[in-house]
Copies of this chain bind each other. A is one copy, B any other.
């Protein structure tokens, strides 16, 4: 069992309206020292695989096919060995 921590972020050149909105919110709350906010996704994926290399290949495939939009987003992930989920 592996736990993949997947980070999906917009490519640096892509405009991020959600980040701009959060930045505005922070400024209006008085956080004047904030300069930029970019918002991405963070996913934790539990996957059964006998070996790390297989888990890695699967997670890469998942990111390419569903978790990230390759046109505007990029992804990276960390893989760690995990115990089966509680009660699972």
Contact = CB atoms under 8 A, between A and B. Distances in A.
Contacts of A8: 42
A85 to B, nearest CB: 6
Copies in the complex: 2
Given A26-B62, A41-B42, A66-B26, A33 B9 contact: no
B26 A37 contact: no
B43 A38 contact: yes
Contact of A35 (B1, B7, B37): B1
19 contacts: A22-B43, A22-B66, A22-B67, A25-B66, A26-B62, A26-B66, A31-B58, A33-B48, A33-B58, A34-B45, A34-B46, A35-B46, A35-B47, A35-B88, A36-B44, A36-B46, A36-B85, A40-B43, A42-B42
